[in-house]
Each structure stands twice: as structure tokens, then as C-alpha cells.
């Protein structure tokens, strides 16, 4: 009995292949699915009583693409010939559908993405239901792959090279009406008419042939080296790709090459070209790293794979937020968006109301863009209650303080909140650097005290760093993870230490940038090399964003707390100069490492040249990239060594989602594995001699190199 497809032939000779993978919420392409689909396609084509076949779904979606866990298994293969042969089996399957002499119809019940849409594109006719939320596209580039199941050849032949490239290079997902307008879908019908329409077309089109298999076929929008539109498409496309990726990602390059080469030859040759590039991509570490971190490990975090077992799931109905600044206001918005009542408390009602106004402004923008309605916005806003009265926190299951980074202020609000909340309630601090165990000393219920470190702006940033204090109980950790999942964020769990993981990691990046200034590296070279390495902003720009005064105050608090144990950072002098003498504290003041003219574009402050003269001989871009990325990777290793991180997956997911570490690396620990631990240690030894002891590889890494170990097996 089939586990993936039901095959039925009706009295009119129409075969219906209904995809319905057992124990899966959505249909995905697995090895077993492909084997069964191949068998049934061959059966339909070879049976003289069958006039054609309809491929449809028994679920509310059609086919969501490849099972990426299965794709991840392919990376273990080292034989290019074996990988190429496996890919060509899929090519043979789709070509059998197209050229077997019988019409095939894709009757799509909803979403068709990746390989799911590629199978549909191999059908002669595509009809779909206009299901709300249904999406159609080839988004493989988002996980380091490209449409290697015929997508790079069929989609551009259907809608033109320019439109096809835009969809595939950006991973665009279209709504049903948009897909219809593009010509990807032939017709939209109500769900009740889907199979009837598919059958009608099939019986009326016994001699169906794909456009690209006809002798007079021409690529929509032109093709070939002598077509002006074609040349413009690839000239502009190559320039944009360089601007966006700096050639760090092989998938976009492969898409460009597949379309450019494949559309100048017949479809069968184009499909072989595509498979060669896809095989090469599978042998490249970028796709492997991205799939492991962006899909597999992030997916495990979203499903709370590390949640302590044996505790009832918490559903927060009423949340207390202490402090209505940007962070508290953002917290109130995302919680209300999840249907949670929010008590937004500040020392003055006007401050609390201003915090609520943040949600009003976000919702006004969403209304303007048609993403929500006035009624829904009003309902969301009604969930947020501005107040100054701690008694309003009484029924909150969870309270999060998001007040100023000052231990005394945090202790004060902790005591006031705990005086009124229920004994079972959890108290969380949103601190970004202060040790949770120290803050918990102000609490009378330390087992229920935990850190929930959100990132700004909260409504856009997907990560939450959960910090477990020395006294935090398993139950509190479990319920904190439940809340993070409830508001649709991705949690990582770390143990308590000053700066935790993400703030330390961010600090290592900024420190390396400021140290380079002291070393005489030109500021523009620092910033541009950082972008070329794949970082979203340079370290100097990031310092302005987090604010120089905050960095200064955190450092001074750390000095005060640690006393003689404090170890100065190599870039400390830059922070001191800007705060104490230059009064340039970052973007919020309009002046920092950059100038921020009102209504104009920011630019590096010319005064940097006076205070940090550029050396006569500048380092290479590659050397700067390496310093910036390796400085961060080393800090991730130290966090593993100090048991701040207990799983490399948390380190990689946290770095990508919270700090913008280049996705093509898979994260800092994946980067080390890709370079090779032994090679990485050797490079760090070299840089330690040149730039200082901060590059000295930790003992953990040296031991791993000696044993031939890696972070991932």
C-alpha cells in the first residue's frame, strides 16, 4: 500500500494521482515519494486505457518542495557522478510526463513551492484554487540551493528570462492571482470545481505538448547573445548579484549560469546543464551549512527541541512589561499581535502611552499597505493597557522588565512587581549584558527568575536569547520557551555570564573594528570589507547604532563589578575618546563614527582621519574580512568552552538571526568546521602574532584540532 500517493483510474480513462504523505502536515518530496510518483507516471503513460493523468493533493496544500532533511543527507555523498545520476532520474521523470504522449494536469489545492512547483511546471496544464495564503514560487535560493528540478529551464521558458531570474534570485513567492497573471497558472477555480476543470481540459487536449517542445518555440522576451533585451538582462542581473551577494553565495551565480547557458540550447540539453550546476552546488559547503542552520537547526529551535520535559505548556494570557521605551513598546506590540493582554507600565503615564503609540504607528503603516484592517488594529490596541500602577500586574503569568541597564533600577522594579504578582508567575529581565544570577538577587523567587533578551526592533528581529541563571528552574525555562514560541520568535538557550552569548559576540565584532582604527586601517576599508564579508553593516556603523555611550557605560559597569579582574579590550581607547572628549555618541545624537545630516545620507565622519591617521600600507580586503569573522568565531568558541553555549546549533542560529553573521557560513562554528579546525587554529596563531592575544585559539579548539574533531559530525 502506498504511503505517499493514491492512484485511481475512473471510467473515462483519467488517472488521478492524489499526493497525501502520511504523518506529515504538508506534502513534501521524499525519496519514497519520488519512487512512487515515478512508478505511477510510468503506469499511466504505459497503460493504453489511460487517456491522461491528474496530479493533485489530499491536503489543503499541493506540494511544498523537497524535504530538506532528506536533501541534507545528500551532502554526505562525495561522488559527483552519483549525485548527477540521481538528479537525472528526476529529469527523466518530468520529461516522461511531458513527452510520454498523454496530457498531465496539475490540480493544485494550495501552496506549490520548490520541487512541488517544478513538478507542476512539467504538467501541460496547471489549475489551482484561489486559497487564502497559498503561495507559488521557487524559493530554494533562501537556503543556499537553486531550483534544480527543471525550474531554471522551465520557468524562464514560460515567463521570460528577466521575470524568471527575478523570481528565482529573490526566492519570490506569489499569491495565486499573481501566479495567474504571470502565466505560471493557467486558471483559478473554486475548490469544488478543481478536479472537474482538470478533467475537462485533459479530455479536450489529448495531443497536449509543452510550448518548449514545439518546433516554433521562442523564449518570451527574447534570448540569445544577439538579442538586446537578453544582453541587458544579464548585464544588469550580474551587477545586481555582485552588489547583493559579493559572490559569497554560489546559488545565485548558478541560477544566472543555468538560465544563460540553458536557454540557448534545447530543453533536454538545458536540463543536463542545470544538473551539472546542481551537483556542483551539493558539493559546495555553503548549501550544506545554510540548510543545517537556517532550516534544520532553526526548525528544531522553533519546535522547542531543548525544552525540559515533564512540564505543562504555558499559554500566557496577560503579560506585564516594565518600561515603555523602544524595547518595552516593541514587546507590547508582538505580544498583543499574538492575542495576549499587555500591561505596559512606566513611571509616568505619558511614557506608557507613548509606548502604546508605537503600536499605533506600526498598525497605521500596516493599514496603509493593506496588511490589516481598522477593526483588527483597534482590537489589537485594546489589548495594551498603559499604566503606572503595579497592582495592574496582579493577574500576569509573566512579567518582563525592559528598563534602563542599571542594576539598582532593575532591582527596584523587580521588588515592586513581585509584591503583587501571583506566586506561580515568572519574572524575566530583558538585560543585554548584566548577569541574570546577579539581578535575581533582588528576587524572592529566584527559581522563577530568567533572562529573556530580545533584539531591537522587536517586531522585526526573530531571535530571543533565553538566559538561565544559576537558580533558574527547569520549569521556568520550559515556560519561558513556551512564551517565545507563542509570540512566534526563535529561542536559543544559554547559561549565565556577563554579556551572555550574543552581546559578547557583537562586542567582539565592534572591538575588532575599533582596533583596526587604532592600527591605522582606513575606516572606509573596514566598513566596505565587512559588507563584502557578508555582514549587514560595518562594525563602526553598528557601534553607532547600539550607541557609543551605552558601550561606554556597560564597560564602566563591568570595570566596577570585576575590579582587578577586568581585562581591557584592544579597542577601548576609541570608545573612551568618543565619549569623554569628542562627545560623539552615535546615531541617536546625530554624530558618532558617522555624520547623520537631516534628510540626507549618512557618511563616515571626516574627523576620523585626524584622530586615526591611515597607515601608508593598507591590509588586503581578505585580511580584514578574516579578522572580523574570525574574531567573532573565536568568541563563539570561548562561549562553548565556558559552557555559556551548550550546543553549537544555538551558537550558529543565534549568530545568524540575532546578529546578522553571514548566512553563507552557516554560523561561526560552522565556519570553523568548513575551514577545518586545524587550519583555523593555524590561522589564529598567525593573527595572534600580528594583531594580539585576542586571536590566541582557546584550549578547546587546540584540543579539537589535535584530535581531528569538529563541532558537527
**Which residues are known catalytic residues?**
453
Q: Which three cell numbers stand for residue 679?
A: 587550519
368 CB-contact burial (10 Å; exposed 0-12 / middle 13-18 / buried 19+): exposed
Q: Which three cell numbers stand for residue 109?
A: 489545492
Measured distance CA(424)–CA(422) in Å, rounded = 5
Across the beta sheet with 125-129, what order do the strands follow? 5-9, 14-19, 52-57, 104-108, 125-129, 187-189
Q: Which three cell numbers stand for residue 143?
A: 537556503
Outline where DSSP puts E strands in 254-405.
318-322, 341-345, 384-387, 398-401
Measured distance CA(420)–CA(429) in Å, rounded = 17
Q: What residue has cell string 549525485?
A: 83
Question: What is the C-alpha radius of gyration for the chain, rounded to an integer number of angstroms?
Answer: 28
Measured distance CA(231)–CA(24) in Å, rounded = 45
Residue pair 255/152 in contact by the 8 Å Cβ criterion: yes
Continuous segment of H or E residues that includes residue 84: helix 80-99
Continuous segment of H or E residues that includes residue 278: helix 267-282
Three-state helix/strand/coil letters over 461-483 = CCEEEEEECCCCCHHHHHHHHHH
Across the beta sheet with 384-387, what order do the strands follow? 384-387, 341-345, 318-322, 398-401, 426-429, 449-454, 463-468, 490-495
Measured distance CA(567)–CA(710) in Å, rounded = 29
Mapped onto helix, strand or coil, the DSSP state of residue 453 is: strand
Residue 340 has, within 13 A of its CA and on its CB side, a CA count of 28
Q: What residue has cell string 536533501?
A: 71
Residue 561 has, within 13 A of its CA and on its CB side, a CA count of 16
Q: Report CA-CA distances (Å) from 178 to 60, 105, 170.
A: 19, 20, 16
Q: 425 — phi, psi (to 5°)?
A: -70, 155
Residue pair 677/709 in contact by the 8 Å Cβ criterion: yes
70 Cβ partners below 8 Å, 6+ apart? 29, 30, 31
Amino acid at each position: 500500500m502506498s504511503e505517499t500517493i493514491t492512484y485511481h483510474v475512473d471510467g473515462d480513462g483519467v488517472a488521478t494521482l492524489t499526493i497525501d504523505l502520511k504523518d506529515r502536515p504538508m506534502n513534501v518530496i521524499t525519496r519514497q515519494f519520488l519512487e512512487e510518483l515515478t512508478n505511477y507516471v510510468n503506469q499511466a503513460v504505459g497503460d493504453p486505457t489511460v487517456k491522461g493523468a491528474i496530479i493533485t493533493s489530499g491536503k489543503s496544500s499541493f506540494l511544498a518542495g523537497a524535504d530538506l532533511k532528506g536533501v541534507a543527507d545528500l551532502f554526505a555523498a562525495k561522488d559527483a557522478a552519483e549525485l548527477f545520476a540521481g538528479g537525472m532520474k528526476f529529469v527523466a521523470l518530468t520529461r516522461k510526463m511531458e513527452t510520454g504522449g498523454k496530457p498531465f494536469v496539475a490540480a493544485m489545492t494550495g501552496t506549490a513551492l520548490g520541487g512541488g512547483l517544478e513538478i507542476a511546471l512539467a504538467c501541460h496544464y496547471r489549475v489551482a484554487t484561489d486559497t487564502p495564503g497559498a503561495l507559488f514560487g521557487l524559493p530554494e535560493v533562501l537556503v543556499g540551493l537553486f531550483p534544480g528540478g527543471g525550474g531554471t529551464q522551465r520557468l524562464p521558458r514560460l515567463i521570460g528570462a528577466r521575470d524568471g531570474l527575478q523570481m528565482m534570485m529573490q526566492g519570490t513567492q506569489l499569491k495565486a492571482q499573481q501566479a495567474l497573471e504571470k502565466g505560471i497558472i493557467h486558471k483559478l477555480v473554486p475548490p469544488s470545481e478543481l478536479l472537474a476543470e482538470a478533467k475537462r481540459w485533459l479530455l479536450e487536449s489529448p495531443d497536449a505538448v509543452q510550448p518548449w517542445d514545439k518546433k516554433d518555440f521562442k523564449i518570451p522576451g527574447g534570448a540569445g547573445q544577439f538579442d538586446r533585451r537578453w544582453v541587458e538582462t544579464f548585464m544588469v542581473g550580474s551587477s545586481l548579484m555582485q552588489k547583493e551577494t559579493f559572490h559569497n553565495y554560489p546559488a545565485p551565480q548558478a541560477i544566472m549560469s543555468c538560465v544563460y547557458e540553458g536557454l540557448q540550447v534545447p530543453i533536454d540539453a538545458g536540463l543536463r546543464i542545470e544538473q551539472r550546476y546542481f551537483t556542483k552546488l551539493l558539493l559546495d559547503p555553503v548549501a550544506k551549512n545554510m540548510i543545517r542552520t537556517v532550516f534544520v537547526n532553526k526548525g528544531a529551535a522553533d519546535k522547542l527541541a531543548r525544552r525540559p520535559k515533564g512540564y505543562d505548556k504555558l499559554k500566557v494570557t496577560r503579560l506585564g512589561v516594565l518600561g515603555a521605551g523602544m524595547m518595552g513598546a516593541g514587546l507590547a506590540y508582538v505580544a498583543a499581535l499574538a492575542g495576549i493582554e499587555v500591561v505596559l507600565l512606566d513611571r509616568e503615564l505619558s511614557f506608557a502611552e507613548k509606548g502604546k503609540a508605537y503600536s499605533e504607528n506600526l498598525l497605521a503603516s500596516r493599514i496603509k499597505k493593506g496588511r490589516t484592517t481598522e477593526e483588527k488594529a483597534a482590537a489589537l490596541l485594546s489589548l495594551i493597557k498603559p499604566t503606572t500602577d503595579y497592582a495592574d500586574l496582579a493577574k500576569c503569568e509573566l512579567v518582563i522588565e525592559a528598563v534602563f541597564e542599571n542594576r539598582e533600577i532593575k532591582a527596584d522594579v523587580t521588588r515592586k512587581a513581585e509584591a503583587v504578582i501571583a506566586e506561580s508567575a515568572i519574572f524575566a529581565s530583558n538585560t543585554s549584558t548584566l548577569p541574570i544570577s546577579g539581578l535575581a538577587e533582588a528576587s524572592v523567587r529566584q527559581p522563577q527568575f530568567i533572562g529573556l533578551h530580545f533584539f531591537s526592533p522587536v517586531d522585526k528581529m526573530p531571535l530571543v536569547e533565553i538566559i538561565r541563571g544559576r537558580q533558574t528552574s527547569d520549569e521556568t525555562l520550559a515556560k519561558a520557551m513556551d512564551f517565545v514560541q507563542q509570540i512566534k520568535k526563535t529561542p536559543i538557550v544559554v547559561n549565565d555570564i556577563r554579556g551572555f552569548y550574543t552581546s559578547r559576540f557583537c562586542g567582539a565584532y565592534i572591538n575588532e573594528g575599533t582596533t583596526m582604527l587604532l592600527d591605522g586601517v582606513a575606516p572606509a576599508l573596514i566598513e566596505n570589507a565587512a559588507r563584502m564579508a557578508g555582514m549587514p553593516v560595518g562594525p563602526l556603523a553598528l557601534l553607532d547604532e547600539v550607541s557609543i555611550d551605552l558601550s561606554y557605560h556597560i564597560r564602566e559597569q563591568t570595570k566596577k563589578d570585576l575590579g582587578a579582574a577586568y581585562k581591557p579590550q584592544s579597542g577601548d581607547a576609541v570608545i573612551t575618546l568618543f565619549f569623554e572628549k569628542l562627545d560623539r555618541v552615535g546615531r541617536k545624537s546625530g554624530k558618532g563614527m558617522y555624520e547623520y545630516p537631516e534628510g540626507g545620507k549618512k557618511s563616515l565622519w571626516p574627523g576620523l582621519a585626524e584622530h586615526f591617521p591611515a597607515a601608508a600600507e593598507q591590509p588586503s580586503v581578505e585580511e580584514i574580512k578574516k579578522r572580523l569573522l574570525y574574531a567573532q568565531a573565536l568568541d563563539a568558541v570561548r562561549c562553548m568552552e565556558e559552557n555559556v553555549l551548550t550546543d553549537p546549533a544555538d551558537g550558529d542560529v543565534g549568530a545568524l538571526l540575532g546578529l546578522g553573521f553571514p548566512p553563507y557560513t552557516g554560523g561561526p562554528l560552522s565556519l570553523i568546521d568548513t575551514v577545518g579546525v586545524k587550519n583555523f587554529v593555524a590561522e589564529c596563531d598567525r593573527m595572534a602574532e600580528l594583531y594580539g592575544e585576542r586571536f590566541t585559539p582557546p584550549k578547546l579548539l587546540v584540543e579539537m584540532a589535535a584530535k581531528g574533531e569538529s563541532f558537527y559530525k
